[in-house]
Amino acid sequence: MIQFQEIVIIGLGLMGGSLALALRKSGYSGRIIGCDLEKDTLLEAFRMGMIDAYFQDPKSAVKNADLVILAVPVGYYAELFSEIASAVKQEVIVTDLGSVKSYVEETAKEFFFDKIQFVGGHPMAGSEKGGIHAASPTLYENAYYFITPTPDTREETVEALENLVRNIGAFPVIVSAKEHDQIVAKISHLPHLVAVVLTNLLGREENVSCLPFVGGGFRDTTRIAAGNPDMWKDIFFYNKEEILLGIEDLQDILSEFGTLLSDGEEEHLLTTLEEAKVTRERVPHTGKDYIPQIFDLIIDVHDRPGALGDLTKLIGSAGLSIKQIEILHAREGEKGAIRMGFATKEEQEQAFYFLRYGGFRFSYRKGVD
């Protein structure tokens, strides 16, 4: 069995930093080397104990590595592959955390030869926050973690990566790079595109402003559109082939739905809605999202000075953190409404009972599925 005595993580932001912390938490006893362009990030990572040593230069960082993990945007891979190809030792394994795999696999072939084994990786985990201070040792726990070996990848290499993934609390899934890109295009990339389109459709409405009336349904449907635009631009271009196929399928479905509506096909349209409901109910509720779930409370408040302060003070005294807060409407002389979002269902429930006993009334209480 392959034993990784020294692991190099290139990029110590949210993903790379979380991986280093997860390795520490798992009891990994080898050396963890950090590599990042930002000296302050490296110093902070060292101070936090997530790495044993650090380098700004990738060539210096990888020279003794048994495993090199790229945790940087996919657009930087070609440059990094070129830099480290001549610096790594024999039989090194290189993997990554990127969300596109076919492009990465083809790019690796241009720079790596027989002595370097590249095996793509993609953990289905993330956060709306970034940077080393957002890193968490539990980010990968209970997340699916794709590993995409090629036909030439050695079995012992796959086993070693599977063990590493299990040790940090994730579930390894072995698929080809092509299969991976098809899967994530449907369950991640295309849904993000739809969320962007719906949000932009609302923002471009010229005749009437809809934003003041947006409710939980629209927020739930479009929350992932708040993701990092630069990152998603790269994802769309590097998985362009699968995205374009998905757009064609989506256009066909929209066209079919439009035809049913215009032709008055009520029974067929009902069947379409029922099929969606059945499929949605089969979706697992355990997956992690790039943008975390928010559990809402909508509280009725009197329109008076200090009402918002009283509300937040009461929540603070309960030791609860408010993830999001929004004034939905406030009309002079009438009741207003405050939307509060919490990170977990448990916090939402605690806030509900605490506020209810504090004399507040509610318009809405529902967790995001």
Distance CA 223, CA 236 (A): 18
Q: What integer pLDDT is reported at residue 122 of this predicted model?
A: 97
242-280 in b/e form (b: 16+ CB < 10 A) is: bbeebeeeeeeeeeeeeebeeeeeeeebeeeeeeeeeee
SS3 265: coil
Q: Residues 328, 337: contact at Cβ < 8 Å? A: yes
Instruction: State the amino acid at position 167 in one-letter form.
Output: N
How many residues can be counted in the chain?
A: 369
User: Domain residues of the chain, as ranges?
Assistant: 6-175, 180-281, 295-367
Query: Class for domain 295-367, per CATH?
Result: alpha beta
Distance CA 111, CA 92 (A): 14
> Looking at the domain that runs over 180-281, which CATH code has it been given?
1.10.3660.10
CA distances from 156 to 29, 93, 96, 153 (A): 20, 11, 18, 9
Q: Residues 106, 80: contact at Cβ < 8 Å? A: no
pLDDT in tens, the chain (369 residues): 688 999 999 999 999 999 999 999 999 999 999 999 999 999 999 999 999 999 999 999 999 999 999 999 999 999 999 999 999 998 899 999 999 999 999 999 999 987 899 999 999 987 767 889 989 999 999 899 999 999 999 999 999 999 999 999 999 999 999 999 999 999 999 999 999 999 888 877 665 667 667 777 787 788 888 888 888 999 999 999 999 999 999 999 999 999 999 999 999 999 999 999 999 888 776 555 555 667 888 887 776 777 778 788 888 888 888 877 877 654 444 556 788 888 788 888 888 888 888 777 776 555 443
Give the other-Cβ count within 10 Å of 225's Cβ. 19
DSSP state of 93: E
SS3 348: helix
SS3 106: helix
pTM: 0.78
CATH fold, domain 6-175, is Rossmann fold (3.40.50)
Distance CA 293, CA 289 (A): 8
Q: Residues 95, 161: contact at Cβ < 8 Å? A: yes
Distance CA 12, CA 40 (A): 11
In terms of DSSP H, where are the helices of the chain?
A: 14-26, 39-47, 58-62, 77-84, 102-111, 155-167, 177-184, 190-203, 216-222, 229-238, 240-262, 266-281, 307-317, 345-357
